[in-house]
Structure 1
Amino acid sequence: MKKIAVLTSGGDSPGMNAAVRAVVRKGLYLGLEVFGVYRGYTGLMEGEIKKFDLGSVGDIIHRGGTMLHSSRSEEFKTEEGQRKAIDQLMSHGIEGVVVIGGDGSYRGAQKLAEYGIATVGIPGTIDNDIPGTDYTIGFDTALNTIVDAIDKIRDTAMSHEKTSVIEVMGRDAGDLALWSGLAGGAESIMIPEVSIDIGGIVDKIQKGIERGKKHSIIIVAEGSTSGVEVVKQIKNRMNLEPRVTILGHLQRGGKPTGFDRVLASRLGAYAVDLLTDNQVGVAVGIEQNKLVHYPFDKILGKPHQINTNMFELASQLSI
């Protein structure tokens, strides 16, 4: 293998730039030609491909977002779109592609593999919802962003003796809500993996009030319900005026933490090693601090698992 490319696809996550840097520099270190593909699969179809050198990825390891930009492409899901992408890769002589993204990005990489392009996927998403890895790139940064927001909201909730409902991202996974709720000392956490009766949350708030507690924090994962709906249900059940904060895309931005930079660097370099060793059609990850890889077939469609022990711990500590 002499020429490889790297692209980022789907939602951006802090640490993607560090992963791009690792892929490019490890490739160059091994004597490969490395190309950057701009705007994900859309850019791949349209030929937005540029040869990179060492300086192309200088001064990006600490930056959030992705310098390659990203997009979601409906056209690439079609056979015509996929053939456009293959033609572009062939015209540049590119034999292998590293795809950084989430579930949808992996499905695109799998399609490229079916056309004979060597592919390796790197898990880049704040949702931490990709099987085959303990952590995805960007999760730790987003987690710390949320915890910082919880701390600030708790200050004003305490000052005004209010119950605050905070809605966080995560798509259909509750990791961001669970981890941030535990780290932020939330009184209640709502995640899609566990069915929670709003009545139980109301009872906990009421018991807190009876023992003199003046404020509460409720973390709501977007995949379970909406923060606005939770506030509405609480107001219908008790004489309380909760406030709601929807953090939204604030959670995707910011400088990646040291953990995410190291994780991205390790996974990026590992992806190149696998390409040069012809271990392709796989997704890389980290389990118990060891680098691992699994075929896309064993990753895609596999249900996300929550740490039930951690959820139980959060419940125990919030009595």
Structure 2
Amino acid sequence: MDRKDIRRIAVFTSGGDAPGMNAAIRAVVRTAAWNKLHVYGIERGYDGMIDGHFKRMERRDVANIIQRGGTILRTARSERFRTKEGRAQAAENLRAYDIDACIAIGGDGTFTGAQVFSEEYNIPFIGLPGTIDNDLFGTDYTIGFDTAVNTAIDAVDKIRDTADSHNRLFFVEVMGRNSGYIALHTAIGSGASAVLIPEAETSMDDLKVVLRKNKARGKLFSIIIVAEGHPMGGAAGIAATLKDEVAMMEPKVTVIGHLQRGGSPTAFDRMLASRLGHNAVEELLNGKENVALGVVNDLPTCYPFHESIGREKIPREELIKMASILAI
């Protein structure tokens, strides 16, 4: 599609919310306005596309949102969009508003929906990586990841005060059903004693060895960071299994949970989201379509949806090794 063929674009957020999504929406709207395009926001993701929840957006509609968490367009996970009937209704609504292209902000499921839909109805899509898990292939960082890690580290810093005061062992569970990025970065950034992530094999015996070494060194407290998707189970399950081993340290469990999704985005996430939102409009006008847009080595990078979707993104081995070394 040539630049002259794009007159109206739509932007929406889908799947789990992530701090920085509003900054991305703001950048899309203002870059589109600069290029004299009409922009429509679709509320509640693919469900809103099916139900016709479109609204025209101007520069003033995105004022004073860059610092806000969540998403002003709301978000949802749509089962109806998985059906041909749902996608047909969505396409009819896009045609009714004369939408030439869409910018989707979300994760792997969002990109999968965009790929299927664009192939069926020949509507150009660009996907922006919006997920706190940082598990999307084709970008070094995803929108919301940095904020989630900072939130988790802040919580662990507070837990450390109590752990130190009472000579206790804490198991702290962070988000990451299939990804250990948040756990790994939180462990390194907070100086944790150990980290358990899905991508690295750590047995219960390995963890017992770590705790025994800490005890032999006279360490008064320990903090273990656990990704919720670890094969041995969440923090509560692991703590219960180790009950006899750590009884003297009065083990406690803290699940940080959805606190990691909320709150004002960090400066890094605001900058990342703004760059990606701006670049998405520019890439559409330059003829790019049906790609996931990310940042690799600080440069904008596009991957076709079929090369990005479903590909496992594993934390670098050097970081996993470093976390172990620094915990000694």
TM range (shorter): over 0.9
**Residue ranges of structure 2 left out of the alignment (5+ in a row):** 1-5
Instruction: Work out which of the residue numbers 216, 233, 238 in structure 2 matches 1:230.
Output: 238
With normalisation by structure 2, the TM-score equals 0.96
Q: Are 2:10 and 1:2 aligned?
A: no
Give the 5 Å matches for 1:33-52. Answer: 33-52=38-57
Which AA in structure 2 matches 1:315?
Answer: S
CA RMSD of aligned residues (A): 0.9
State the distance in 1 between where 2:90 and 2:311 align: 27
Deviation at 1:198, TM superposition (A): 1.5
Percent of residue pairs identical:
47
1:265 corresponding residue in structure 2:
274
State the distance in 2 between where 1:276 and 1:53 align: 19
2:90 corresponding residue in structure 1:
85
Which AA in structure 2 matches 1:244?
Answer: V
**Residue ranges of structure 1 left out of the alignment (5+ in a row):** none
Q: Are 2:284 and 1:275 aligned?
A: yes
Which AA in structure 2 matches 1:203?
Answer: V
Instruction: Work out which of the residue numbers 25, 28, 31 in structure 2 matches 1:26.
Output: 31
State the distance in 1 between where 2:12 and 2:244 align: 48
Which AA in structure 1 matches 2:210?
Answer: K
State the distance in 2 between where 1:314 and 1:302 align: 24
Q: Are 2:178 and 1:172 aligned?
A: yes
Aligned pair count reads: 319
State the distance in 1 between where 2:136 and 2:247 align: 41
- 234-243 or 80-89: bigger deviation: 234-243
The answer on whether the counterparts of 1:82 and 1:111 sit within 8 Å (CA) in structure 2 is: no
Structure 1 residues 209-244: Cα deviation after superposition (integer angstroms, max 9, x where no partner): 222211000000011120011101111334343100
Instruction: Work out which of the residue numbers 244, 248, 251 in structure 2 matches 1:242.
Output: 251
The answer on whether the counterparts of 1:112 and 1:119 sit within 8 Å (CA) in structure 2 is: no
State the distance in 1 between where 2:244 and 2:135 align: 33
State the distance in 2 between where 1:74 and 1:211 align: 53
User: After TM superposition, which residue ranges in structure 1, 4 or more long, deviate above 2 angstroms?
Assistant: 236-241
Question: SS of the residue aligned with 2:303?
Answer: strand
1:64 corresponding residue in structure 2:
69
Which AA in structure 2 matches 1:235?
Answer: K
Which AA in structure 2 matches 1:281?
Answer: N
State the distance in 2 between where 1:264 and 1:50 align: 21
Q: Are 2:120 and 1:112 aligned?
A: no
State the distance in 1 between where 2:301 and 2:247 align: 52
State the distance in 2 between where 1:129 and 1:306 align: 9
Deviation at 1:75, TM superposition (A): 0.6
Which AA in structure 2 matches 1:151?
Answer: D
Deviation at 1:112, TM superposition (A): 2.3
Question: SS of the residue aligned with 1:294?
Answer: strand
Q: Are 2:225 and 1:219 aligned?
A: yes
State the distance in 2 between where 1:117 and 1:219 align: 43
State the distance in 2 between where 1:175 and 1:183 align: 12
Question: SS of the residue aligned with 2:301?
Answer: strand
